[in-house]
């Protein structure tokens, strides 16, 4: 009984970390439309901007696995939190000086901290109880990850997207005094939120340094190599599934604001008192101003429903994967995601908007289910495999530039059709599992 209580307490504490990195990851997405206007970036360049965030998963995952094997899971979590805090602080000089390279460094550092947390927390939650319930546990933790992701777009719409960004021509027409005032206002819009996040994350690091977590994982240094893990078909197929899932989910989440503007959804919302009240109500709920609300802030509020779907789906998925084979649920969700994308690109207006937002609901179980299906039956190689699976999150940095350049070249239809291939592989991975 005392062991179960210890597991429950540890599960709750670790779930706060899932919430944290879900919130921060999507908040960074909310910053993308602002940076696109500030630096006048193409969609292809936006893909490379996001790559700085996701390439960190590739760079940090294996070192994070090695680090955790040396210092332990708790200290690894603390180091991850401190790295995230440092990444948040870097947004201060980046926004003050309006230097694109420093924004890239801030994205990279922040993602490095999140990577360390992921490598530690995902396998820890998976083994924090009976193996047959691992998928259900990880779906539940990931539901709180999605809760953070759901709140983040509203915070972003309220504080990062609500005001109009001037073009380089408009800035050139300002007086020196007005230009300095504008730059100060621009910097403040980014600095204040990220300084608060840096402080909160630092306090979490201090808190975790004093918490005792149960020792339930063996020393991963003695449990095989990454090469041994990759020789197993289940492992590299699962890693490829994570690669495509993250790429597709983030590609959609990163362009929703611009996709909705391309569909002229902002005009539909403005002309609908009901829809406009939803957008303004959500922004005001988080303390944002709706006076002279910019179009991207108006449609940005609806991005919340993409991540809300992921949260609701994970709570539902936690139950479904208890009573049905997780691989079967994963295959069905992958096929539905493809169908919704096709509906969106073959329709207009609100139908196109709500169908692409609904993809979030069916993204919900993909990460935790692919993760646990890949870890299933892998024994002491689990910590190594976790590092490889987290490394595959680099898919966000590879898929995004391809997607972005397709959008620049042929429009959103071509880009979104490309993402159906990603979901097709996920459905195939689920089908290929023997326990389907």
Q: Where are the alpha helices (DSSP H) in 346-365?
A: 349-363
User: Residue 120: its pLDDT value, please?
Assistant: 82
301-335: per-residue pLDDT in tens?
Answer: 888 899 889 888 988 888 888 888 899 999 999 99
User: Residue 436: its pLDDT value, please?
Assistant: 44
Higher pLDDT, residue 110 or 307? 110
Read off the pLDDT band of 138 (50, 70, 90): confident
CA gap 256, 306 in Å, rounded: 9
User: Residue 189: its pLDDT value, please?
Assistant: 66
CA gap 434, 436 in Å, rounded: 6
The residue among 92, 82, 143 whose CA lies nearest residue 114 is 82
Read off the pLDDT band of 206 (50, 70, 90): very high
Report yes or no: 297 and 161 within 8 Å, Cβ to Cβ: yes
The residue among 271, 229, 426, 423 whose CA lies nearest residue 339 is 423
Those residues whose C-beta lies under 8 Å from the C-beta of residue 132, and which sit 6 or more positions away, are: none
235-278: per-residue pLDDT in tens?
Answer: 899 999 999 999 999 899 888 988 998 998 888 988 888 988 88
Least confident segment among 73-87, 114-128, 354-368: 114-128
Higher pLDDT, residue 359 or 8? 359
DSSP string over 69-92 = HHH-HHHHHHHHHHHHHHHHHHHH
Long-range pairs for 197-200 at CB < 8 Å and ≥24 separation?
Answer: 197/24, 197/27, 197/85, 197/88, 198/85, 198/86, 198/88, 198/89, 199/85
Q: Which residue has the tokens 């509020």?
A: 301
18-61: per-residue pLDDT in tens?
Answer: 998 889 887 887 777 677 766 767 777 776 777 777 788 888 88
Long-range pairs for 201-210 at CB < 8 Å and ≥24 separation?
Answer: 201/20, 201/81, 201/84, 201/85, 201/88, 202/81, 202/82, 202/85, 204/16, 204/17, 204/20, 204/81, 205/78, 205/81, 205/82, 205/85, 208/13, 208/74, 208/77, 208/78, 208/81, 209/74, 209/75, 209/78
CA gap 122, 127 in Å, rounded: 9
Q: Which residue has the tokens 């139908």?
A: 351
Q: Which of the listed ranges 148-157, 173-182, 376-385 does the model predict with the highest average pLDDT?
A: 148-157
Report yes or no: 255 and 359 within 8 Å, Cβ to Cβ: no
Q: How many residues does the chain have?
A: 436
User: Residue 243: its pLDDT value, please?
Assistant: 95
Q: Which residue has the tokens 């996040």?
A: 197
Read off the pLDDT band of 171 (50, 70, 90): low
Report yes or no: 28 and 231 within 8 Å, Cβ to Cβ: no
CA gap 197, 367 in Å, rounded: 25
Report yes or no: 401 and 44 within 8 Å, Cβ to Cβ: yes
CA gap 65, 226 in Å, rounded: 10
Those residues whose C-beta lies under 8 Å from the C-beta of residue 27, and which sit 6 or more positions away, are: 152, 155, 156, 160, 193, 197
Question: Can you give the pTM of this predicted structure?
Answer: 0.75
Read off the pLDDT band of 139 (50, 70, 90): confident
User: Residue 164: its pLDDT value, please?
Assistant: 59
The residue among 17, 14, 64 whose CA lies nearest residue 393 is 64
Those residues whose C-beta lies under 8 Å from the C-beta of residue 57, and which sit 6 or more positions away, are: 111, 115, 118, 390, 391, 392, 393, 394, 396, 397
pLDDT at 208 over 90: no
CA gap 242, 368 in Å, rounded: 9
pLDDT at 384 over 60: yes
Read off the pLDDT band of 378 (50, 70, 90): low
339-350: per-residue pLDDT in tens?
Answer: 999 999 999 999
The 3-state DSSP composition of the chain as helix, strand, coil percent (nearest 5) reads: 85, 0, 15
User: Residue 222: its pLDDT value, please?
Assistant: 43
User: Where would I find the beta strands (DSSP E) of 130-193?
Assistant: none
CB atoms within 10 A of CB 203: 12
pLDDT at 162 over 60: no
CA gap 69, 381 in Å, rounded: 12
Domains of the chain: 2-213+223-432 (1.20.1250.20)
If you average pLDDT over every residue of the chain, what do you get?
82
Residue 334 to residues 36, 176, 247, 255, 429, Cα–Cα distance (Å): 31, 54, 14, 20, 10
Read off the pLDDT band of 110 (50, 70, 90): very high
CA gap 314, 144 in Å, rounded: 9
The vertex-285 CA angle with 279 and 287, nearest 5°, equals 110
Report yes or no: 338 and 427 within 8 Å, Cβ to Cβ: yes
């Amino acid at each position: 009984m005392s062991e179960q209580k210890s597991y429950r307490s540890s599960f709750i504490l670790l779930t706060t970390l899932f919430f944290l990195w879900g919130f921060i990851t999507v908040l960074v997405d909310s910053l993308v439309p602002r940076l696109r206007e500030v630096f006048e970036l193409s969609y292809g360049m936006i893909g490379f901007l996001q790559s700085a965030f996701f390439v960190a998963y590739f760079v940090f995952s294996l070192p994070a696995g090695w680090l955790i094997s040396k210092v332990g899971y708790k200290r690894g979590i603390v180091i991850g939190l401190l790295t995230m805090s440092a990444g948040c602080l870097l947004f201060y000089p980046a926004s003050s000086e309006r230097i694109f390279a420093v924004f890239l460094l801030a994205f990279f550092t922040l993602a490095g901290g999140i990577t360390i947390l992921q490598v530690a927390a995902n396998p820890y939650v998976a083994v924090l109880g009976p193996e047959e319930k691992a998928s259900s546990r990880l779906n539940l933790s990931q539901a709180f990850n999605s809760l953070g992701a759901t709140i983040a777009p509203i915070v972003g719409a309220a504080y990062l997207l609500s005001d109009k960004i001037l073009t380089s021509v408009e800035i050139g027409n300002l007086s020196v005094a007005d230009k300095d005032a504008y730059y100060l206002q621009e910097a403040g819009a980014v600095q204040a939120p990220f300084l608060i996040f840096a402080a909160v994350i630092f306090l979490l690091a201090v808190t975790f340094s004093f918490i005792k977590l149960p020792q339930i994982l063996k020393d991963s240094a003695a449990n095989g190599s990454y090469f041994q893990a990759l020789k197993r078909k289940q492992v590299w197929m699962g890693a490829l599934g994570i690669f495509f899932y993250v790429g597709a989910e983030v590609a959609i989440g990163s362009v929703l604001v611009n996709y909705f503007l391309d569909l002229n959804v902002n005009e539909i919302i403005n002309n609908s008192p009901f829809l406009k009240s939803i957008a303004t109500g959500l922004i005001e709920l988080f303390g944002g101003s709706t006076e002279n609300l910019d179009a991207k802030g108006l449609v940005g509020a609806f991005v919340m429903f993409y991540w809300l779907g992921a949260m609701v789906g994970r709570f539902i998925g936690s139950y479904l994967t208890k009573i049905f084979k997780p691989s079967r649920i994963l295959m069905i969700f992958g096929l539905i995601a493809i169908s919704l994308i096709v509906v969106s690109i073959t329709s207009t207006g609100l139908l196109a908007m709500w169908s692409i937002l609904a993809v979030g609901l069916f993204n919900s179980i993909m990460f935790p289910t692919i993760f646990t299906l890949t870890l299933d039956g892998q024994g002491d190689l689990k910590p190594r495999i976790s590092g490889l699976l987290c490394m595959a999150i680099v898919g966000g940095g590879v898929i995004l530039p391809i997607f972005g350049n397709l959008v620049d070249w042929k429009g959103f239809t071509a880009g979104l059709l490309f993402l159906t291939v990603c979901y097709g592989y996920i459905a195939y991975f689920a089908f290929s599992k023997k326990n389907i």
